[in-house]
């Protein structure tokens, strides 16, 4: 190894589902991510917690390039995203391909309102991945069944509850069989009585070994499903570790205080 070789240039191990290294993101003069590094192996459930404005959404959005990072390194499913020195993607087609490896579920349900649930779920497989329509439809029916919406395939989103819409959004994200699911506060826009049905779907995915990064304010749920927890404070990882440690024996005074305010 030469003196110039930084350890950070080592290739990611094949089982790495997500690797984020020294990620920085600024909006103008506001530095929102100040050097975040985390990784997830296949099958990991990584919960990301932190106060409002700490950079959780920005972190997820940088991973699929909905936001352009300012600098850093991102590896998805073993493939490093080629970035220019300013963080911008060097290869648009690579970004498009990598996005099909990531299933993103947002706080707001983000379904296409003028399409039925079935049409929502087959959209990306058919039009982006060029999956034959009949095959995409049969897969979509299986996915809708898995999230408990088999009988709603031909319904438009407006006729569904928030919980049903969010479950449909999860089915849609699963339709590309993503390497990693990215959840950004998937239950925070829901009425309290609808939270449980969405958490149940996510819990089942975790139990099946689906790799995920999960931003959540449901601390009990994070403790239950995650095998690694990351606490973000003002754009930096203040503490991370196994859930029993983070929730049961937090070291950071900020984390202790955060847990008191949320739980
Ligand atoms: P969190 O999800 O943890 O609540 P965000 O990642 O949404 O935090 O936001 C972190 C900070 O970045 C906030 O101060 C927010 O106002 C700012 N921010 C997020 N997106 C943008 C944007 N597109 N332009 C300018 N500032 C933004
Ligand atoms: Mg957010």
Residue nearest to atom 16 of ligand 1 (CA): 53
Provide the CA 71 distance to its chain's centre, in angstroms: 20
Condensed to tens digits (0 to 9), the pLDDT of residues 35-52 reads 999 999 999 999 999 999
Mutate to test the pocket of ligand 1, among 29, 31, 32 (most ligand atoms within 8 A of CB): 32
Q: Mean pLDDT throughout 91-110?
A: 89
Residue nearest to atom 1 of ligand 1 (CA): 53
3-state secondary structure of 203: helix
State the DSSP string of 210-247. Answer: --EEEE-S-HHHHHHH-SEEEEEETTEEEEEE-HHHHH
81-85, 136-140, 206-210, 224-228: least confidently modelled range: 81-85
Q: Mean pLDDT throughout 16-38?
A: 96
Q: What is the ipTM of this complex?
A: 0.98
Mutate to test the pocket of ligand 1, among 24, 31, 51, 55 (most ligand atoms within 8 A of CB): 55
Ligand 2 centroid distance, CA of 1 (Å): 40
Beta bridge partners of 231: 49, 239
Answer with the residue of higher pLDDT: 6 or 104: 104
Question: Which residues lie closer than 8 Å to 98 by C-beta, 6 or more apart?
Answer: 64, 65, 76, 77, 79, 81
**Domain parsing of the chain, residue ranges:** 1-93+210-263
Beta bridge partners of 102: 180
Alpha carbon distance 20, 247 (integer Å): 23
Give the dihedral of Cα atoms 217, 70, 44, 238; nearest 10 deg.
-50
139 lines ligand 1 (CB under 6 A): no
Q: For residue 13, give both structure tokens.
A: 């191990």
64 lines ligand 1 (CB under 6 A): no
Architecture of domain 1-93+210-263: 3-Layer(aba) Sandwich (3.40)
Provide the CA 24 distance to its chain's centre, in angstroms: 18
Residue nearest to atom 5 of ligand 1 (CA): 55
Residue 9 has pLDDT above 80, yes or no: no
Alpha carbon distance 20, 80 (integer Å): 10
Q: Which of 259, 109, 107, 110 is nearest to 185 (CA)?
A: 107
Alpha carbon distance 138, 66 (integer Å): 30
Q: Which atom of ligand 1 is nearest to the CA of 59?
A: 6
Beta bridge partners of 183: 105, 214
């Amino acid at each position: 190894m030469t003196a110039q070789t930084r350890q950070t240039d080592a290739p990611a191990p094949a089982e790495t589902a997500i690797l984020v290294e020294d990620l920085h993101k600024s909006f103008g003069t506001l530095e929102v991510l100040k050097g975040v590094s985390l990784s997830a192996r296949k099958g990991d459930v990584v919960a990301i917690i932190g106060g409002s404005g700490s950079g959780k959404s920005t972190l997820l959005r940088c991973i699929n390039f909905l936001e352009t990072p300012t600098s850093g390194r991102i590896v998805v499913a073993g493939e490093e995203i080629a970035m220019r020195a300013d963080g911008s993607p060097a290869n648009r087609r690579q970004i498009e391909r990598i996005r099909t490896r990531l299933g993103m579920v947002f706080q707001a349900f983000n379904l296409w309102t003028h399409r039925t649930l079935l049409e929502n779920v087959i959209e990306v497989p058919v039009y982006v991945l060029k999956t034959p329509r009949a095959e995409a439809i049969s897969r979509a029916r299986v996915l809708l069944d898995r999230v408990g919406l088999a009988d709603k395939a031909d319904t438009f989103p407006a006729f569904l509850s928030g919980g049903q819409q969010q479950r449909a959004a999860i089915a849609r994200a699963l339709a590309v069989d993503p390497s990693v699911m990215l959840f950004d506060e998937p239950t925070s826009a829901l009425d309290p009585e609808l939270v449980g049905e969405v958490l149940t779907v996510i819990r089942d995915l975790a139990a099946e070994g689906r790799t995920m990064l999960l931003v959540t304010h449901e601390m009990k749920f994070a403790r239950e499903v995650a095998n690694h927890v990351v606490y973000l404070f003002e754009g930096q990882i203040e503490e991370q570790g196994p859930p029993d440690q983070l929730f049961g024996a937090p070291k950071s005074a900020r984390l202790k205080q955060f847990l008191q305010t949320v739980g």
